[in-house]
Amino acid sequence: MKRQKRDRLERAHSKGYQAGVYGKNKETCPYQSVDSKSQWLGGWRAAMEDRADGFINTK
């Protein structure tokens, strides 16, 4: 996989994680492509799990 493509997917995952940390709805995913959307949702789910486990302070 090319580095440029990998960086784009890593950025999508990171942005999804940030959205999850801030409690945004998964429907706010800005990506249309399957790969990017999948990465964004994976990051969002990881953040939601971290919030549920108490790793992220929401206050």
- The rounded percent of the chain whose pLDDT value lies above 90 is 76
Polymer length in residues for the chain:
59
* Per-residue DSSP letter, 38: H
What tokens appear for 41 in the block?
A: 């949702």
Residue type, 5: K
Question: pLDDT tier at 57 (50, 70, 90 boundaries)?
Answer: confident
Q: Smallest Cα–Cα separation from 19: which of 53, 35, 43?
A: 43
∠ Cα 50 27 35 (to 5°) = 80
The alpha carbon of 34 is separated from its chain's Cα centroid by a whole number of angstroms, namely 14
The tens digit of pLDDT for each residue in 31-54 reads 999 999 999 999 999 999 999 888
